Structure 1
Amino acid sequence: MSGPDTPTTISVGGDYDVVIGSGVLGRVADLLGADVQRVLVVHPPTLPELTSRLTGALEAQGYAVHVAEVPDAEAAKTAAVAADLWSLLGRAGFTRTDAVVGLGGGTVTDLAGFVAASWLRGVGVVQVPTTLLGMVDAAVGGKTGINTAEGKNLVGAFHPPAGVLCDVDVLSTLPQADLVAGLAEVVKCGFIADPVILDLVETAVADDAARARSAGNPHLRELIERAVRVKAEVVAADLRESSLREILNYGHTFGHAIEQVEHYTWRHGEAIGVGMVYVAELARLTGHLAGPEGDALVARHRSVLESLGLPTTYAAGRWDELLTAMRRDKKSRGSTLRLVVLEGLARPTRLVGPDDALLQAAYGLVSRRADAPAH
């Protein structure tokens, strides 16, 4: 790992770089390319100071900067918001050599990437994630998309960015609940590929549980770098999610179903935390995780996630809604569900078409009483 004052650059298949460090926000122009004249900065309403800094820096370097404020969270990822941005690009005369910058959390980077992918069949995009979730997941990999009433990210495109800038300094102002939710995606990378991540989380919690859940976590930058490396290696091997890349969806089929059933009032990481426990239990039911080692790995899912303050259970009595949402998952083929499960620590595999009775039984193992707290 690099020193605290030296940015880390992680290449994604040699196609683009993810830069991680302190004070790297000013490097956006380095990633835009020489031919860009016009830049659209897409941002949420919660980042006025960062937006002003970024647009000021770009204007000082001679770019014609256009700014679009979009709704916060999942409300940004709609066809109506995307259409408004397309209209702005058209009025401003954006050409194929111009670019979009996504400044914000994962919903903003998803939206900005999709608008860039669809305008003139593809213009450049630089992603500047400002949340932990955005840094380790949404902004890296080139998956872009918006939601519909029928499900999350059902409309989208694969569109690799020109680069990604992860300025860890911005996490100091991130609400703790959002940082903890982002840690769920980091933990996911630990279970599917890099167990050192789990060791670092458990060490931090043991040393100071409150600090482990904050931007003061002494291992936070290393956790970010390790999670980005996992994603970069998988994405480089499978850009369009035809095979290996599906492992990055560990816990996501059930987690996305929770998000949809809850009308996106749950944070993504909270839902994915429950989703990981669900597929761990499913793997035990299907025999993929067996014996004392399998039992211990299922228990480790709960202990790691709960130590960070993430939920590991979901309300009982909602199976029909959840199953309907799961069957709309992007990874499904026809009526056949495809889920990622573990055969052991860092040994993911695909589970195709599991019996409905086993799916429901796993739900029973993550269900809680109706009067129990949701989070």
Structure 2
Amino acid sequence: MTDLDASTPRRETKPPQATGVHVEPGAVVASASPAAQSGSAHITEPVSYDAVLLSGFGGPEGQDDVLPFLRNVTRGRGIPDARLEEVAQHYRAFGGVSPINEQNRALRTALQEALAAAGLDLPVYWGNRNWEPYLDDVLAEAARDGVRRMIAIPTSAYSSYSSCRQYREDWADALESAELSGTLQIDKVRQFFSHPGFVEPFAEGLREAVASAESAGHRRDAIEVLFTTHSIPSADAALSGAGAFDDVDGGGYAAQHLAVAEQVIADAAPDVSWQLVYQSRSGAPSTPWLEPDINDAIAALDRRTAAVVVPIGFVSDHLEVLWDLDREARETAEESGLWVTRVATPGVHPTFVDALVDLVRERVVGRPVGERASVTRIGPWFDVCRPGCCAKAGAAARPAIAGIMP
């Protein structure tokens, strides 16, 4: 449950991709608790867990880590180091250290304390998808500690390949690498975009930001709120959301973000203009990604004197927030003559931490769906991912857990 010893040599590669998944006889969900093995969309019977698995994206913690980390992130895409070095400059500007690991250490501590305060005696293990502590090492540690069933919390609130299914694939990779596929069970909390504890910190921040803009002399009708999230390939977005939003441009990924934005605006600034924008796109320029880009949206603002950026796609102020928003988007706004401010991400806001505890508790007690906390027009999401949900466009399905295969 602790970070790896500092004297341990750096491991530069994440676990290899799994070639199969362990499925109990008669089960349709791999490496799952008995309650989840049947594949029911919502699990409403109590489940006893031994621990919580907090799963992060990971990030480098020194200049020598940057390129190996980026190779892990882009594994299988054939991107040369020269191209990766262009992205690496963002990390190098911060000394090669991504803030995300320290943020997840803080979140793990806060979550552990909140679970204890709530009477849930569950240790919290933290593992990363792309850098130390790697998931397979953490799962091996948990197994040595006697853990046999975990409830996993990804540090992402929404449905898409990169924010949901890729976590599930990496858990399958880690279980196979640690030789625990038939021993350790991992369930996943539902996507938590609709939980009030995720929404409320953004609403709180937006109220304060609009008040600051007004104090700086800007009328409410001259303020534009830009709700921003990570752009993803349009083809991937169309496959998100378990087919529930096939009629929405951007699929479930866009629909969920729009639902959060609508709720935050309704709670904090219903009379202020707003839009959903995207950031941090990568990949070939010829591949369509969700738009508009935040910089293009800022440059196109008309009859506005102030912009408030609300990063609803992120749970902490990691590098893509600090660089893409606090540097690049701010520069674009200032070049356009706009007053600009950014709302903080939830981080370790007590309301958000309590929401994560609530997500664990609802599975421990088997809370009925109608009694689960949810404030957006899209209600509580699935506990067990649906078949094909959040698939990678154009790619064959890889082994994944916490969902019905494929």
TM-score (norm 1): 0.29
Q: Which has the higher contact order (CA 8 A, sep 6+)?
A: 2
Higher strand share: 1
Relative to its length, the structure with more helix (as a share) is 1
